[in-house]
């Protein structure tokens, strides 16, 4: 036998990990899993089983949490929160102790995770558990630094957290560590298929000195999750399907509960012809076969440059043939069991329903296993290229040019992650900013770390987990907010014009004055009842036209911060030159001196002009030979319902923040004092603002709000309006999961950096170094 033959025929012997300790751990607890509330265990019942998917054997009985049990847990968290929030240093010590104890019990956690979820022990031992531990260490540091580095922020209070089954312990860590670090207390619901490592974690909390009530775990199913969403919590943090994420967005609309959603994805894996092909093939093993493809950021859409496609597929198939699939507790196994027969059924059905392209599948053992699958020759619009399969199935297509690669990559409703493979770093770094994704990996995949934010855009949800950017989701600006007093427009009895000249202000769309589609206008009176002029009443068609105009101005996002600053300074200069006239106009409408407001507007424009080229991203120190660049990108098309009480500032302030960061914006002017629109478009026309970057509508906020919220081409809606539209906006936003920032009827006075943060998305671009 030649050495080559020996190598070719060599096989792996079994290297089984023992399940004995983990099974004994369960037996010692009477074979059941259940709630940990207020530092105590119980109630614990055998309401439904959690099984080992690799064998189908029951692992433990699980308690299905009721609404009352959720309430008890929330009450315990509420009681514990004020004391927990007091000392960052004490929190740091406790988080550090959790990390140490997790390290001590790392093997038990890893084995339990593989038993409960079916993932290979190699992954739970080397990835899930170490990353979870790292999260607690890293956030112990954030707890320590909160007072000095985030002096303007305070905890939200009680956070309800709902996690999925694909990374049970890791998702628990991603949720609990930042919440605790920032002084919140939590009620966490693990997934019904995989509650076991959360049970070990609860015991670790007790040992680590977590005060009773700070961490509460309530097991259960979707109903238990829904009860948590409806409970008296200050935030819901959710990871799971886009469908349930949408339901939660609707259920929490108008409640004032903070929300972060980390949802599904259909992440592109782009291979250029100059890529290191062997590395790119090996990367795919991680991208789509890691955790049996049950990964929200799985590189499930392969886009290969046409010239290398056949050779690439051939290498990929040969690598697939070498993947070992079977017992998750065998250390030689690459691919374990699918989490549950229901999920297996879903994957099988989706693949069998496909009639396009060519399917290549390797073999899988009997039971809850699915073979690694490659489907080539799919069109970008085919179901398997568009829908999340959440299994070990790779859908592939080809592209010709970099521009086409970007186009196909972005042809999805999701926007979680993307991989770009090319040995030409210039090309890779040119593509990365063009991809609609929260995370981009250059020549790599599935790189994650506590120091770098993780999260998506579009229907992959909003909010980040990890890094400085992740802390924002667990804090709010300090200070109390007052209820907003609605301002009624002035009316008249006689209707005598204050000025005999006709002053009917049109709408401002795409850099031009536009008559309203409906052909209606309404009068605006002074406090003394004199007619000041008429404004147009915009309807949903005018809003649509404004969106078209914003779409036409997308190149604004590519301008430099320096240029945007120049234009904002120019607006300030023009505003300053007309300061008296504008102040008088404000006075005519409101009866109050407008000079302070005009001066404040000039200052605001200067502030955002200053920030335009200084609101920098970060280079995160992640533990790889490389860097994760946290780049700040514009959110996109924004619509803002302006503060009623400030006819000019209400428009200038969000406009300047949005423009500074490269967004396009449609302002809906103050409802009682809308006449300022005429001054605004004169200002914009004389200040080199490109058409479509800023559009202004006047009209009824309540009428326009549902249309803005539901529009699929608007990426963010803000409301500082006195109209009661917060709930309508949040509910309507569930359609494309756009970002919302609403006032819930309160007077909010955001800082410049709060506004800049809301006007940007952080994209983490991972760039490994080395040959
Ligand atoms: P879900 O979104 O249903 O589950 C995620 C979590 O939410 C679980 O804890 C679940 O409980 C809970 N939940 C379910 N319904 C509600 C509700 N109405 N209100 C509040 N909480 C609720 O995902 P599934 O586990 O059902 O998986 C379905 C599909 O979702 C997968 O096939 C996959 O495509 C996708 N998915 C995406 C994930 C991601 O990370 N992006 C993670 C998991 C799934 P319970 O476990 O009892 O259902």
pLDDT 10s digits, 704-717: 999 999 999 999 99
Q: Which of 626, 674, 628, 661 is closest to 755 using CA atoms?
A: 661
Residues 6+ away with beta carbon under 8 Å from 371: 325, 361, 362, 363, 364, 392
Could you give the angle at which helices 196-208 and 168-181 cross, rounded to 10 degrees?
30
Average pLDDT for 467-487? 92
Residue 352 CB neighbour total at 10 angstroms: 9
Question: What torsion do the CA atoms of 760, 766, 769, 771 make, to the nearest 10 degrees?
Answer: -130
Q: What per-residue confidence (pLDDT) applies to 502? A: 63
Q: Does 480 score more than 90 pLDDT?
A: no
Q: pLDDT tens digit string along 539-590?
A: 999 999 999 999 999 999 999 999 999 999 999 999 999 999 999 999 999 9
Q: Does 498 score more than 90 pLDDT?
A: no
CB of 297 within 6 A of ligand 1: the answer is no
Q: How many CA atoms lie within 13 A of 737 on its CB side?
A: 26
**Token code pair at residue 405:** 């690669």
Q: Are strands 235-239 and 48-51 parallel, antiparallel or unpaired?
A: unpaired
Q: pLDDT tens digit string along 209-227?
A: 999 999 999 999 999 999 9
Average pLDDT for 602-609? 98
CB of 165 within 6 A of ligand 1: the answer is yes
Q: What per-residue confidence (pLDDT) applies to 503? A: 72
Which ranges in 478-618 belong to alpha helices (H)? Answer: 540-552, 561-577, 579-590, 595-612
C-alpha 743 to ligand 1 mean position (Å): 30
SS3 assignment, position 482: strand
Average pLDDT for 517-541? 94
Which of 5-19, 79-93, 113-127, 622-636 has the lowest average pLDDT? 5-19
Task: Look at 7 and 645; give whichever has higher pLDDT.
Answer: 645
Which of 65-69, 523-527, 761-765 has the lowest average pLDDT? 523-527
Q: pLDDT tens digit string along 425-442?
A: 999 999 999 999 999 999
For the CA of 229, the closest atom of ligand 1 is 20
C-alpha 189 to ligand 1 mean position (Å): 11
CB of 229 within 6 A of ligand 1: the answer is yes
Measured between its terminal Cα atoms, the distance across the chain in Å is 36
Name the band, by pLDDT with cuts 50, 70 and 90, for residue 499.
Answer: low
Q: Does 745 score more than 80 pLDDT?
A: yes
Q: pLDDT tens digit string along 197-210?
A: 999 999 999 999 99
Average pLDDT for 624-651? 97
Cα separation of 178 and 621, whole Å?
18
Q: What per-residue confidence (pLDDT) applies to 214? A: 99
Average pLDDT for 656-684? 97
Query: Looking at the annotation, which residues are catalytic?
Result: 262
Q: Does 721 score more than 80 pLDDT?
A: yes
CB of 267 within 6 A of ligand 1: the answer is no
Q: What per-residue confidence (pLDDT) applies to 273? A: 98
**Token code pair at residue 166:** 């694909």
Average pLDDT for 106-128? 98
Average pLDDT for 221-243? 98
Q: What per-residue confidence (pLDDT) applies to 492? A: 78
For the CA of 228, the closest atom of ligand 1 is 20
Share of the chain above pLDDT 90, in %: 95
Average pLDDT for 608-624? 96
Q: What per-residue confidence (pLDDT) applies to 671? A: 97
Query: Which residue's CA lies nearest to atom 48 of ligand 1?
Result: 222
CB of 459 within 6 A of ligand 1: the answer is no
Name the band, by pLDDT with cuts 50, 70 and 90, for residue 494.
Answer: low
Q: What per-residue confidence (pLDDT) applies to 771? A: 74
Cα separation of 388 and 374, whole Å?
15
CB of 244 within 6 A of ligand 1: the answer is yes
pTM: 0.96
Q: What per-residue confidence (pLDDT) applies to 149? A: 97
Average pLDDT for 181-192? 98
**Token code pair at residue 610:** 């200053």
Q: Does 513 score more than 80 pLDDT?
A: yes
Name the band, by pLDDT with cuts 50, 70 and 90, for residue 22.
Answer: very high
**Token code pair at residue 355:** 């009639």
For the CA of 389, the closest atom of ligand 1 is 34
Average pLDDT for 399-411? 98
Which of 122-126, 316-320, 475-479 has the lowest average pLDDT? 475-479
Mutate to test the pocket of ligand 1, among 53, 190, 240, 296 (most ligand atoms within 8 A of CB): 240
Residue with tokens 């054997």: 57
Query: Which residue's CA lies nearest to atom 34 of ligand 1?
Result: 390
SS3 assignment, position 39: coil
Q: Which of 111, 104, 101 is closest to 136 using CA atoms?
A: 101
Say which DSSP state 261 is in: E
Q: Does 495 score more than 60 pLDDT?
A: no
Query: Which residue's CA lies nearest to atom 35 of ligand 1?
Result: 241
Bridge-partner residues for 468, per DSSP? Answer: none
Cα separation of 316 and 313, whole Å?
5
Residues 6+ away with beta carbon under 8 Å from 256: 744
**Token code pair at residue 180:** 């605790």
Q: How many CA atoms lie within 13 A of 353 on its CB side?
A: 11
Q: pLDDT tens digit string along 256-282?
A: 999 999 999 999 999 999 999 999 999
Q: Are strands 482-483 and 301-305 parallel, antiparallel or unpaired?
A: unpaired
Q: What per-residue confidence (pLDDT) applies to 169? A: 98
Residue 573 CB neighbour total at 10 angstroms: 13
Q: What per-residue confidence (pLDDT) applies to 479? A: 87
C-alpha 244 to ligand 1 mean position (Å): 6
């Amino acid at each position: 036998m030649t050495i080559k033959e020996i190598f070719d025929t060599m096989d792996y012997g079994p290297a089984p990990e023992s399940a004995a300790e983990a099974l004994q751990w369960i037996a010692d607890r009477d074979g059941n899993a259940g709630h940990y509330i207020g530092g105590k265990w119980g109630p614990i019942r055998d309401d439904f089983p959690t099984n080992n998917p690799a064998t189908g054997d029951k692992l433990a009985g699980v308690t299905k949490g009721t609404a009352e049990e959720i309430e008890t847990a929330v009450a315990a968290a509420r009681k514990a929160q004020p004391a927990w929030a007091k000392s960052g240093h004490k929190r740091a010590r406790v988080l550090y102790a959790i990390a140490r104890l997790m390290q001590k019990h790392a093997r038990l956690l890893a084995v339990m995770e593989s038993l409960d979820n079916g993932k290979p022990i190699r992954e739970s031992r080397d990835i899930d558990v170490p990353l979870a531990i790292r999260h607690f260490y890293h956030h112990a540091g954030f707890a320590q630094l909160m007072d000095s580095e985030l002096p303007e922020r305070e905890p939200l209070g009680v956070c309800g957290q709902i996690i999925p089954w694909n990374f049970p312990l890791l998702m628990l860590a991603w949720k609990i560590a930042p919440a605790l670090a920032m002084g919140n207390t939590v009620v966490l619901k693990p997934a019904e298929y995989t509650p076991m490592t959360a049970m070990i974690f609860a015991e670790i909390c007790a040992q680590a000195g977590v005060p009773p009530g700070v961490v509460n775990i309530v097991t259960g199913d979707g109903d238990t999750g829904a009860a948590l969403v409806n409970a008296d919590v200050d935030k819901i943090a959710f990871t799971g399907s886009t469908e349930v994420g949408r339901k939660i967005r609707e259920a929490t609309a108008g409640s004032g509960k903070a929300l972060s959603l980390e949802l599904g994805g259909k992440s592109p894996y782009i291979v250029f012809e100059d890529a290191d092909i062997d590395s790119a093939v090996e990367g795919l093993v991680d991208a789509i076969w890691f955790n049996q493809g049950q990964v929200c950021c799985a590189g499930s859409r392969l886009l290969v440059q046409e010239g290398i496609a056949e050779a690439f597929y051939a290498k990929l198939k040969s690598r697939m043939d070498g993947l070992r699939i079977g017992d998750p507790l065998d250390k030689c196994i690459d691919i374990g069991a699918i989490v549950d027969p229901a999920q297996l059924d879903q994957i099988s059905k989706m693949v069998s329903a496909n009639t396009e392209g060519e399917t290549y599948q390797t073999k899988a053992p009997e039971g809850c296993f699915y073979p690694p699958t490659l489907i080539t020759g799919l069109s970008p619009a085919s179901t398997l290229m568009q829908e999340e399969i959440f299994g070990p199935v790779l859908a592939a297509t080809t592209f010709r040019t970099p521009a086409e690669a970007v186009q196909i990559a972005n042809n999805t409703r999701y926007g979680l992650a993307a991989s770009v493979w090319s040995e030409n770093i210039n090309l890779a770094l040119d593509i990365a900013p063009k991809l609609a994704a929260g995370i981009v990996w250059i020549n790599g995949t599935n790189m994650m770390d506590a120091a770098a934010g993780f999260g998506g855009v579009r229907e992959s949800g909003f909010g980040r987990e990890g890094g400085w950017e992740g802390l924002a989701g667990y804090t709010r600006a300090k200070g109390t907010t007052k209820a907003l007093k609605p301002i009624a427009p002035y009316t008249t009895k006689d209707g005598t014009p204050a000025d005999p000249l006709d002053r009917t202000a049109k709408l401002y769309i795409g850099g031009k004055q536009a008559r309203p589609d409906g052909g209606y206008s309404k009068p605006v009176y002074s406090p003394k009842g004199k007619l000041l002029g008429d404004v147009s009443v915009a309807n949903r068609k005018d809003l649509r036209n404004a969106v078209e105009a914003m779409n036409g101005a997308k190149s604004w996002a590519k301008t430099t911060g320096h240029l945007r600053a120049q234009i904002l300074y120019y607006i300030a200069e023009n505003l300053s030159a007309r300061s008296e006239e504008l102040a008088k106009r404000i006075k005519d409408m409101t009866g109050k001196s407008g000079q302070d407001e005009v001066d404040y507007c000039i200052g605001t424009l200067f502030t955002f002009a200053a920030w335009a080229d200084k609101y920098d991203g970060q280079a995160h120190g992640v533990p790889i030979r490389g860097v994760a660049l946290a780049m700040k990108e514009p959110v996109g098309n924004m619509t803002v319902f302006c503060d009623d009480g400030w006819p000019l500032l209400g428009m200038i302030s969000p406009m300047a923040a949005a423009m500074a960061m490269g967004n396009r914006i449609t302002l809906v002017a103050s409802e009682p004092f809308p006449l300022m629109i005429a001054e605004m478009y004169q200002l914009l026309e004389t200040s080199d603002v490109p058409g479509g970057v800023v559009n202004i509508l006047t009209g009824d906020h309540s009428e326009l709000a549902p249309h803005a919220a539901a529009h699929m081409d608007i990426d963010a809606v803000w409301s500082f309006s006195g109209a009661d539209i917060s709930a309508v906006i949040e509910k309507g936003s569930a359609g494309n999961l756009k970002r919302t920032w609403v006032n819930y009827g309160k007077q909010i006075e955001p800082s410049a950096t709060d506004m800049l943060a809301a006007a940007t998305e952080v994209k983490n671009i991972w760039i490994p170094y080395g040959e």
